[in-house]
Structure 1
Amino acid sequence: MRGKLNCSGGQLIFKTITYLKSGNEIQRRAFNVINDLGILNDLAQYHPILCGTIPISIDVEGSDLDIIMEVHEFEAFKYQIHSLYCKHDKFVLKEKRI
C-alpha cells in the first residue's frame, strides 16, 4: 500500500488516496465521493488525511469515512466546512478536542 504514513490509535493513515482507485468496491466509491466533493483540495490547508477502516479494507456495514485535519482556528474552519458541505443531506460536523 503506497502512501502509508504510520499507525495512530491502531488505525493506519495515508498521505494520498490514489490507491483506493484500484481497491475493493467500497474503496473505489470512497475515492469517487472524496474527489467529487473536492474535500482534499478544498481543505488542503488543514492537511486532511483519510483514516479508519475503509482505507485498509476492514470496514463493516455502516462504516463511514473518517478524515482527520490539523486545525488551529476552529471557528474559521467550522465556517468553511459548513459553507462547503451543509447542502448535503447527511452533513454532520463533529468536534473533538484532544
Structure 2
Amino acid sequence: MDGTSAFWWTVAAVAVAATLAVAVVLAVRLFRARGLLADSGVPASRKVLFWGALVYLVSPADLLPDPVLLDDIGVLLAALHALRRAGAREGAREPGGAR
C-alpha cells in the first residue's frame, strides 16, 4: 500500500469514527430525553417519533449506506428537536437542566 492510499484510508476511518461518535452521543441524548415521555403530557405522535428514531438507528435499512451515518444523525436530531418542542409546550423541564 503506498502512502497516498494509506492517507485516504486513514481519512475515511477518522470520518467514519467521527460520524459514529456523533450518532452515539445523539442516541444517548435521545434515550435520556425519554424522561419527557413519562407523565409530561407529550402527544403520542412525539412518543412514536422517539421510538422510531431509535429503531431507525439500529435498523439495517438506511437512506445512505451504513458507514455514512448522516441520515441516522438527521433522524435523531429531528426526534430530539420534536421532543424538546413538545416538552416545552407542555411545560416540562429539560433533562439535566436547572430545577
Both proteins in one fold, TM over 0.5: no
Larger radius of gyration: 2
TM-score range, shorter chain: 0.3 to 0.5
- Give the number of the structure whose residues are more often helix, by fraction: 2
TM-score between the two structures when normalised by the length of structure 2: 0.33
TM-score between the two structures when normalised by the length of structure 1: 0.33
- Give the number of the structure whose residues are more often strand, by fraction: 1
Kindly indicate whether structure 1 or structure 2 has the higher relative contact order, using CA contacts under 8 Å at least 6 residues apart. Answer: 2
